Amino acid sequence: MEKLEHIGIAVKNLDESNKLFARLLGKPHYKIEEVASEGVRTSFFDAGNVKIELLEATNPNSPIAKFIEKRGEGIHHLAFEVANVKESVRAYAENGFTLLNETPKAGADNKQIAFMHPKSTNGVLVEMCEEVKS
């Protein structure tokens, strides 16, 4: 994995945080997207070579709700771009990393994604994402 694609940040209130990050970055978010299957509503900011993804839970069982319950708001994951997420899942699993989902799933921003368990990556939740060509 070479390129950091985005940094995911768990927030309690997306609308409030959109305002905060607009003040912080000096520009507004450029899109909002709900991923119902993951129980999240997301917004994206362009932060130069990397995006910032804010994530708000849409139901109490959402991984974001559980994260905030345990650890509070803050950095949730680092996402790296990969050319082929299926291949990467296989290669990293073979190389001793623990995957949270072996089968890539649909994420926000037109991506197929898979996560590595933080226990195999020094406590950092790592997302691999492949842009879906339309």
CB of 113 to Zn ion, least distance (A): 7
CB of 6 to Zn ion, least distance (A): 6
Q: Provide the binding-site residues for Zn ion, judged by CB under 5 A.
A: 8, 53, 79, 127
Closest to 111 measured CA to CA, from 77, 78, 134: 134
Q: Is 83 or 106 the residue whose CB approaches Zn ion more closely? A: 106
Rounded to the nearest angstrom, the gap between the alpha carbon of residue 62 and the centroid of all alpha carbons in its chain is 13
CB of 72 to Zn ion, least distance (A): 19
Residue the block writes with tokens 């406590």: 123
Q: Is 75 or 91 the residue whose CB approaches Zn ion more closely? A: 75
Rounded Cα distance, 88 and 105, in Å: 13
Q: Helix (H, G, I), strand (E, B), or coil: what is residue 94?
A: helix
Q: Is 48 or 96 the residue whose CB approaches Zn ion more closely? A: 48
